Structures are given as C-alpha cells and as structure tokens.
Amino acid sequence: MKVMGMVLLVVQLCVTPLFAMEYQVHVVRQGGNLYWAAAEKMYIQTEYCVEDSATADAVLRMEGDSGDITFTGSGNKCTVKMLYGRTRLKAGKYAIRVSREDDNWYGIVAKKIALKTDGCLSLVEDMQAILQIHDDGAGTLSLPEADEECTVSEVYSQAQLHLNKQ
C-alpha cells in the first residue's frame, strides 16, 4: 500500500508543474486586452487589464496554460487568458462560430484559435461565420447575421512559451 502511494506521488510530480516560470518581455498594446511581444513573436491576451502604457516592459509568469503579466513600470498585474503564436490553416472554406475578443481579434468558439482581422467592427458573440482561407494563409471572415465581411490577415493558435528563463 505504501509503495502504491509513493508511485502515485511520483507520477503526479512528473506531470504537475512544480513552479511557475518567469520571463522578461517587452510588449506593445494592440487592443484593450491584447499585447504583442515582438521578440517572442506572440500575442498575450489578458482579462480585464487596466494597464495604460502603449508599450512596456513586463514579467510574464506562466504555470502551464495559466499565468499573469506584471508591468514593470506601473506594477499592474493582469491575468493571462491565452498566449497565441502564428499558425496556418489549410486553404479552404470553414463553417465556424466566432466571438469578438478585442479590436480586430476574433476567437473561434471552442477552439484555441484566433483570427487577426483588418477593419472588422462587429461586436459578435458565438455567431455563425464562414472563414475562407487562401493559399497564402490570409483570407476573409464572413459574418452573415451582422452583414459584414472582413479581411483575415493572420491566424493564431494557442502557443507554449519557449523562452530563456530569467
């Protein structure tokens, strides 16, 4: 019985992060809750973040898929909702559901994928849409219920942080 308990403890320790990783990042605000970290080539999506800086140095602290970002200058701390890295979808037409997450940033519902758009203004939540991806990776997002069609400049999916630990 004691051996079985030790085996379970060892297995749990092997799959559970023992500590959070901290990374120094420089970010540029792209929307209300969206920051671009150019050196890392990723977007950091936050929740209810009140940081006023257009550009800032920050400490990104991640433990698995969850974490927070603390802005060095102000000391403001925000919850990280998701990290996104650029991805490519296969060219084609997709029937999807989208929600507006931020300025020109639409999340595909129930997927860890976001679409960076140009000039898309619709405030939609869980709305049916058609995504047309071209061979170059860009495309169009059609929102029939909102009577709007937008250019999709880039597609992003959930990213894992692979930076040098500070």
- Average pLDDT by stretches of 10, the chain with 166 residues: 39 46 94 94 93 92 92 95 95 97 95 94 95 96 94 94 54
DSSP symbol at 38? T
Answer for the pair 138, 109: CB distance below 8 angstroms, yes or no: no
User: Residue 79's pLDDT is what?
Assistant: 97
Residue 109 and residue 154: Cα distance in Å, rounded? 17
pLDDT at 53: 86
DSSP conformation class of 90 = P
Alpha carbon distance, N-terminus to C-terminus of the chain: 41
Assigned token pair, 37 = 């970290």
- Please tell me the predicted confidence (pLDDT) of residue 65: 84
Instruction: Give the three-class secondary structure for 8.
Output: helix
The DSSP 8-state label assigned to residue 89 in this structure reads P
Instruction: Give the pLDDT score at 148.
Output: 94
Domain spans in the chain, listed from the N-terminal domain onward: 20-85, 88-158
